[in-house]
Structure 1
Amino acid sequence: MRIALLEDEHEQAQNVQAILAERGYECDSFPTAQSFLSSVLHRSYDLLILDWQIPDGTGVEVLESVRAQLNWPIPVIFLTQRDSESDIVRALDAGADDYLIKPPRAAELLARINALSRRTSPESDKEVLNYGPFEVNTQLRVIKLHGQALVLTDKDFDLTLFLFQNQGRLLTREMLLERVWGLTRDINTRTVDTHMSRLRRRLGLNPDNGFRIKTIYQRGYRLEAIKATADTETASGDEAP
């Protein structure tokens, strides 16, 4: 899991990062709203942790910006010294999923993160997942389109499942290499481009089947649900990796 932390106090940030590292989570820390938003809006994170008081704004303002600009409901936890009922209500009304008071207790913080992960990925334990005309059997590792099994490699299956589980979300090439291929360094991102080009054809991702893989220039890919009546010329314009 990749987490972005907004925290301007160095010791507090180090404490949270140490807690998360013990569980194997990767955490990038940012001291300002500007640096935080610059990374969050251009990279792929699984969860955000926000402080309230920061040098160039407030955590609530940052959260409102994230909710307005990201097109998927990334889970957000507030971690702050502000503990009044009105502050908690304001943060939750702005779109926060949880609220903790500093300093965090390690076990509680990890439990809250795990609970949010389960809540935001409710399909993770299901054997058969349905996405429009696509049926994904996670046990048999078979994907069907309109009832017909598709011919896919193991890596094709893993990549397809990850795309469907994160539809609407920008997935960088680096993130896909890490999550699907297990590669974290000395990587060739053309591997992702090659598989995406092939996957478009093998899955029949087109307006008639309700999905397309959109290439986000210099950033990565996003699986989008589209209407069958969508402009096919617009969809085909995203075919090049």
Structure 2
Amino acid sequence: MAAPLIDARGIVKSYGQVEALRGADFMLRPGEVVALIGDNGAGKSTLAKILSGVERPDTGTIEIDGESVAFGAVEEARGAGIETVYQDLALCADLSPAANFFLGRERLKPGLLGLLGVLDNAAMRRDTRAACERLGVRLRSQKAPVSTLSGGQRQGVAVARAVTWARRAVFMDEPTAALGVLQTQRVLDLIRGVRDSGVSVVLISHNMPDVMAVSDRVEVLRLGRRVARFETAHVSMEELVGAMTGALEQGNDV
């Protein structure tokens, strides 16, 4: 089997008297979709925030491609090739898809105009369109604010942005929440496209049909610890729910 891309061990995180993570482990291999599941309060979002640089663990170790890391900020995780699609998408509603795509990474015109700080909007729109088309995301307009796009299109912009800048992995927090059936299918297709492009995906979700449909493996958290992990092809939805609730204490060690 391939060596882990991300290997986190013994992650502990407390907020005052609340222990969000109590020695959690997590592992992601290159070129796979791993679903991170658990009931409310299991520690999923906290672990994802730590692995993507939003939070710092109290104790524990994180290795990226076998090298120990200690992210102190989101920018450091991004520097390591890890991007995140947040549940709220983190898009600026009044900006265009291209402006959101290059937010904080704006491209300047070549030559003197660039030295004067003039943005190369045409190039940014062109590259945004190309990135979206690679993932099958069709946008009504490259100039209209993202607030005018459908939920699925906004999701597509956020995913395409993350995939374009990610070199190693993308975390997706509840990417199909509040989406309709057709939009959900489009997002699941996007996730498959991301994996096929060579970028690993961590899917954080409560939606068991989505987990079963798109993941290669599942890691289960309960009460701040990883209690099970499975190959999706060899597990039932009932077993996943049992691991989440404690009815099934241990999954396949894969």
TM-score higher than 0.5 here?
no
TM-score of the superposed pair, with normalisation by structure 2? 0.30
- When you count helix as a share of all residues, which structure comes out higher? 1
TM-score of the superposed pair, with normalisation by structure 1? 0.31
For CA contacts below 8 A with separation 6 or more, give which structure has more relative contact order: 2
